[in-house]
Structure 1
Amino acid sequence: MAVDWTRRMARRAREAGDPLGGILALANARGVLNFSGGFPDPSLFPTGELAEITRRLLDEDPGVALQYTPSNGIESARHAVADWAVREQGRRPADGELMLTSGGIDAVTLIAKTMLDPGDVVLVEEPTYLGAVSGFATFDPVLRGAALDEDGLDVGALAELLAAAPAAPKLLYTIPDHQNPSGRSLSESRRRELVELCRRWDVLVVEDVAYRQLAFDGTAAPSLWSLGPDVVIQIGTFSKIFFPGVRLGWAVGPAEVVDKLAVAKQNSDQCAGALGQRMLEEYLRGGLLDGHLPKARALYRDRAAAVDAALAEHFAELGTWTSPTGGFFTWLHLPGIDTTALASRAAEHDVAFVPGAGFYAEKADTEHLRLSFSRIEVPEIEQGIANLATAVRESAEV
C-alpha cells in the first residue's frame, strides 16, 4: 500500500489552506476577464534597461552578481535602497536598520518567526492581505481584527480594543497606502495617532508599503516608519514597481529587530538573489525608477477609472464599492450574495475575481470581493464588469 504521507506531516502543514494558490494559478490564464491577482502589467517591465544592466553586470561584476550574498543583502544595494528611502520618505535608515528580503511575504514570515510565540496576539486590519494572514498564522498566534472605515484603520476603535485586552498584542499589521484589498488609505492625522498609540502600548507596527509609490497623483502621506522609527518596522516590495520575478523587498526598523530578521533568514532562503540586488541597485542609482513610476501611475489610474465607471453603470443597484486613489484594487460589497459561490458562476461568464472571505482573520465576511484592475486592459474592463453583473443577478435569483 502507498504511504499516507499526509498523516506524517506537521499539523501546520495538514491544516494550512492555500489562499494564494488559486490566484497565482490564474497568472497566465487565457480566455478569462481576469480581475484576480495583484499582478503588475507586463507592458511596464523595463526590459530594455534590464538587458543593458544585466549585460554590464555579467561583464564587469560576476564575482558579486552571481555569488551568494550576506543575509541582510549586498552592502552597496542596501545603501542604494537607503538613499532612495531618503528621497521617498525623508529619512535614511541608519546602519543595521535595513535589510533586503525576498519580497514582501518573506519579510512577513521573518517577522513572525522572530517575534511570535504560540498564543501571542497579532492585530490585523479587517479585511487585510490574505498572504499576511496565512504568513502569521503559521506560527500559531491569536489573530484579532481591527476595523477599517473610509479613512483607513479606525485608530479610535483600536485604542478601545487595546484598553480592553488582557495583554498588549505583539504586532499590528497595517497597509496604510491603497490597502489590499480595500483600496483605502490611512489619513495623515490617523498615522500620527497610530504611532503614538502603539508606542504607548509597546506594540510593534508592521507597516506594509507595497503600493505606496503607486498613488495616481504621485503624492504620499508620511510613512509610519518616518514618523516612528522606534516602534515601526516597514516592509516593502519591488514586485509592483520594478518587476515581480526579481523577488526583492526590504525591511527597515529598529536595529535589534532587523538583526534578528537577518539571523532568521539564514535558516530560510539564506539570502535574496545577488543578481537581482545588483540589477535593482543599478536601476535605482541610474534614476530609472523615478522615470518609470509616472508611466505606471498613469496606466493604473486609467484602469481604476474604467472600473469605477463600469461599476457605476452595472452595479448601482447591486452593491457598493471603493474608489481607490492608488494601487491595484477595488473592494465590492454585494449584500446577500455569497461571493465564494459567486466565483464559480462568474467563471461560467469568463470572469475571475477573488472572493472576500480569505481577507478576514477573525470575523468571516462572504459578501465582499476584490477586483484587481492592474493587469486587465480598459476595453476588457467594461465587458468583465458587465459579465460579473449578469452572474450576480443570476445568483440573486437562485
Structure 2
Amino acid sequence: MSNLDLRLARRAAGSGDELSAILSLVNAPGLITFSGGFPAHEIFPVEFVREVADKELGGAAPVALQYTPTEGLASFRDALASWITSSQGVAPDGLMVTSGGIEALQLICRTLLDPGDRVLVESPTYLGAITAFSGFEAKVDSVRADRDGLDPASLEEALATGPAPKLLYVIPDFQNPTGAWLSTQRRHEIVALARRHGLLVVEDVAYRELGFTGEHRPSLWSLAPDVVVQVGTFSKILFPGVRLGWAAGSATLIPHLVRAKQNSDQCAGGFGQWLAESFLRAGRLDAQLDRARAAYAERWAAMSAGLTKHLGPEFSWSEPGGGFFTWLTGPADLDTAALLPRAREVGIAYVPGAPFHPRRDTHNRLRLAFSATTPDEIAEGTRRLGLLLGAGA
C-alpha cells in the first residue's frame, strides 16, 4: 500500500487540525492574535520560579527531576486537595494529577467510551473536547445553551430521546467559547437530572477561578460528587509551560483513570508538580489570581470598547463575567472561515465558529480571545476586525 493516508485508523482519518492551527500562532510576528486561549505572559510568576529553583531545587532534585507515581506526587496531591477543599467546600475522595486538562479528558474517554457511545455537550463547546470524544468514535450530540449556560430543559429532552448517553461534558464557568456563566439554579437542576438518569457529568473548571469579581458559584462536583468528575488545569491560572492538571471524582472511578494513564505518558512531570506545590504551600496562588482577574477584566473592557466602536448593529457578542473569550455573531450570510486568509492579510487571527459545534453547522460566528493581548493591541486588533468585517474603521 503506497498511500499512507489509506493506513490511518478510522478515528484519525476524520480528525481536524484546529488546535494545531491555534497553537501555531503563538508569538506569530506581525499578527494580533485573538485565536488562542493563552494566558497573559506578563503575569507569569517568573520571580517566584527563579527564586524557588535557585534556593530549593538542589535539595529537591530527587523528587522534582525524577519520574513520579502515576497518580501524582503524594505531597502535591495533598496540597492540591487542600486548595480544592478550600475553594469548593468539599474534599475529594479520589484525586489524580494529569498532564493538563486535555489529558484528563483523554483518560476519561479511554476508560469509559466504546465506539458508538453517545456523549452530550453544550453547543457550542470547547473544540478540544469534541475532538477528544470524536477521536474515540463517540456519537456527540449537542444540548442547547444560552447566556446562562446549558439549558436543563434541553438536557432533559436529550435524555428522553435516543440511547442513554455515557456522559455529559459541561464548562460551567466563563465557558469556552462563549464566556457564559452557568446560573446557580441551573447547576442544581443539572445535577438533579444526572442523578435521576444515572448520567456521569464531566465538569471542566479551567476558568472557574478567573471571574472578574472573584465571585464563585458552586461547582457541579461540589453539589454532586457521586455523579460528577471534575477536570481542572493549572495552565490558565499559573502557566502552561509545564502541562499540569487534575481529575477529581469518586474513589471508584479515579483508579481506573490512573490505570489508563499508565498507557499514555505514565506520569505527569515532577518539576511542574514540585513548582505548583511550592506555589500552593507558599500561599501565593490567591495573589496570582487577583493579578490575573484584574488583567483579564482590563482586557475585556478594551475588547468590549473596541467591538462597540468598530462593529455595526448587525453584529452582537457575548459579555463574559470572566475567563478569556467572547463569542461574536454576524449576519446570516457571513462565512467566518472563508475570511481567514483575508484576516491574516490585515494582521489578525481568530477562530471560526463551526469547529465549536459537533455538526459544524454554523458559519456566521467566531471566537475572540482577549487574554493574551494588551489593551493597546486589542484596540488596534478590533479596528482591523472592523475593516475585515466591512463595518468601517
Q: TM-score scaled by structure 2?
A: 0.97
CA distance in 2, matches of 1:54, 1:102: 21
Instruction: State how 1:1-398 maps to structure 2 within 5 Å.
Output: 3-94=2-93, 97-165=94-162, 167-335=163-331, 336-362=333-359, 364-393=361-390
Q: Distance in 2 between matches of 1:381 and 1:79?
A: 40
**2-structure distance, mates of 1:8, 1:161:** 36
Summarize deviations over 1:333-372 as a string: whole Å, max 9, x none: 0122001012222222111101111101135111110000
Deviations, residues 31-54 of structure 1 (Å, cap 9, x unaligned): 111101000011111111011222
Question: Does the 8 Å contact 1:328/1:372 carry over to 2?
Answer: yes
Check conservation: 1:19, 1:134, Cα contact below 8 A. no
SS of the residue aligned with 1:340? Answer: coil
Aligned-partner Cα distance in 1 for 2:138–2:10:
15
Instruction: Describe the SS at the equivalent of 1:307.
Output: helix
Shift, 1:126, TM fit: 0.3
Task: Read off the aligned partner of 1:128 and give its amino acid letter.
Answer: T
CA pair 247-172 structure 1, distance change in 2 beyond 3 A: same
Separation in 1, partners of 2:37, 2:239: 12
Deviation at 1:9, TM superposition (A): 2.7
Aligned length: 391
Does the aligned pair in 1 maintain the 2:144–2:150 contact within 8 Å? yes
Structure 2 unaligned spans of 5+: none
Secondary structure at 1:344's aligned position in 2? helix
**Aligned counterparts of 2:304 and 2:326: Cα–Cα separation in 1:** 8
CA-CA distance at 1:150 after TM superposition: 1.5
Amino acid at match of 1:322: S
1:133 Cα shift?
0.6
- Amino acid paired to 2:123: E
The structure-2 alpha-carbon separation of the partners of 1:286 and 1:346, relative to structure 1 and needing over 3 Å to count, comes to: same
The Cα shift of 1:281 comes to 0.5
| Rounded Cα–Cα distance in structure 1 between residues aligned with 2:193 and 2:8 | 41
Q: Deviations over 1:46-68 (max 9, x none)?
A: 11101122234421121111111
Shift of 1:387: 1.1
Residues 308-355 of structure 1: CA deviation (Å, up to 9, x unaligned):
111111223231100100000000001220010122222221111011
Task: Tell me, yes or no, if the aligned pair for 1:354 and 1:370 is still in contact at 8 Å.
Answer: yes
| 1:202 alignment partner AA | G
> 1:115–1:170: 8 Å Cα contact kept in structure 2?
yes
Paired with 1:242 and 1:382, the residues of 2 have a C-alpha distance of: 26
Segments of 5+ residues of structure 1 without an aligned counterpart are none
How far did residue 14 of structure 1 move? 2.5
SS for the counterpart of 1:195 is helix
- Work out the CA distance in 1 between the residues paired with 2:280 and 2:144: 37
Structure 1 vs Structure 2 CA RMSD: 1.4
On the 8 A contact 2:335/2:363 being kept in 1, the answer is: yes
Deviation at 1:79, TM superposition (A): 0.5
> SS where residue 18 of structure 2 aligns?
coil
Query: Per-residue deviation at 1:139?
Result: 0.7
The residue matched to 2:169 in structure 1 has which SS? strand
Alpha carbons of 1:6 and 1:100: their partners in 2 closer, same or farther (altered >3 Å)? same
Give the letter aligned to residue 29 of structure 1: A
Asked if structure 1 preserves the Cα contact closer than 8 Å seen for 2:312 and 2:391, the reply is no
Q: Distance in 2 between matches of 1:131 and 1:48?
A: 32
2 CA distance for matches of 1:271 and 1:196? 35
Paired residue secondary structure (2:194): helix
